[in-house]
A and B are shown apart, each in its own frame.
Chain A
Amino acid sequence: MDLRDTAEEAAFRRELRSWIEENLSEELQGHRGGAARFEGPEMRAWSRALHDAGYAGLTWPTEYGGTGASYTHQAIFLEEMARAEAPPHVGVIGLGMAGPTIMAHGSEEQKTRYLEPILSAEEIWCQGFSEPGAGSDLAGVRTSARQENGHFVVDGQKVWSSFAHLASFCILLTRSDPESTRHAGLTYLIVDMHAPGVEVRPLTQITGEAEFNEIFFDKVRVPAENLLGDIGGGWQVAMTTLLHERGTLGFALQAALEVQVRKVAALARDRGADPLQRDRIASEWIEMQALRFTNYRALSKLVKTGMPGPEGSISKLVWSEANQRVTKLALELLGPDAALGEENAPYGGYWQHQQLRSRGNTIEAGTSEVLRNIVAERVLGLPKSR
Chain B
Amino acid sequence: MDFTFTPEQDALREQARAFLAANPEPSWKELAELGWTGVSVAEEDGGAGLTFVEEAVLFEELGRALYRGPYFSTVALALPALPGDLRAEVAAGDTSWTLAFGPLVPDLDLADRIAIVGGDGIYELEGAEREVLATSDVTRSLGVVRGGDPGRRLADAGVLEEIRSRSLAALAIEACGLARRALEYAIEHAQTREQFGRPIGVYQAVSHPLADAYTRLELARSLSLWAAWCVAQEGAQSDQQAPIAAAAAKAFAAEAAVQVCETAIQVHGGIGFTWEHVLHRLYKRALWIESFAASSTTLRAEVAASLLDATGSGSGVSQTPVSLTQGG
Contacts and interface: CB of A to CB of B under 8 A. Distances in A.
Interface in B19-46: none
Consensus secondary structure, chain A interface: helix
15 contacts: A3-B2, A268-B308, A281-B308, A286-B223, A287-B252, A289-B248, A290-B223, A290-B252, A296-B3, A369-B204, A372-B204, A373-B207, A379-B211, A382-B190, A384-B202
Interface residues of B, number: 45
A339 to B, nearest CB: 25
B211 A376 contact: yes
Given A286-B303, A293-B223, A296-B222, A382 B207 contact: yes
Interface in A310-361: 311, 314, 317-318
B308 A1 contact: no
A331 B166 CA distance: 37
A381 B1 contact: no
Interface of B: 1-6, 9, 53, 187, 190-191, 198-199, 201-204, 207-208, 210-212, 214-215, 218-220, 222-223, 225-226, 229, 245, 248, 251-252, 297, 300-301, 303-304, 307-308, 314, 316
Contact of A1 (B187, B225, B300, B303): B225
A287 B303 CA distance: 12
A279 B304 contact: yes
A326 to B, nearest CB: 13
Interface of A: 1-6, 9, 72, 75, 262, 265, 268-269, 273, 275, 278-279, 281-283, 285-287, 289-294, 296-297, 299-301, 303-304, 311, 314, 317-318, 369, 372-373, 375-377, 379-385
Contacts, number: 156
Contact of B307 (A281, A291, A372): A281
Contacts of A265: 307-308, 316
Nearest to A293: B222
A383 B2 contact: no
A379 B308 CA distance: 38
A278 B252 CA distance: 16
Contact of A304 (B4, B218, B219, B252): B4
A383 B202 contact: yes
Contacts of A304: 2, 4
Contacts of A382: 187, 190-191, 199, 201-202, 207, 210
Contacts of A283: 300
Nearest to B9: A1
B207 A376 contact: yes
A318 B316 contact: no
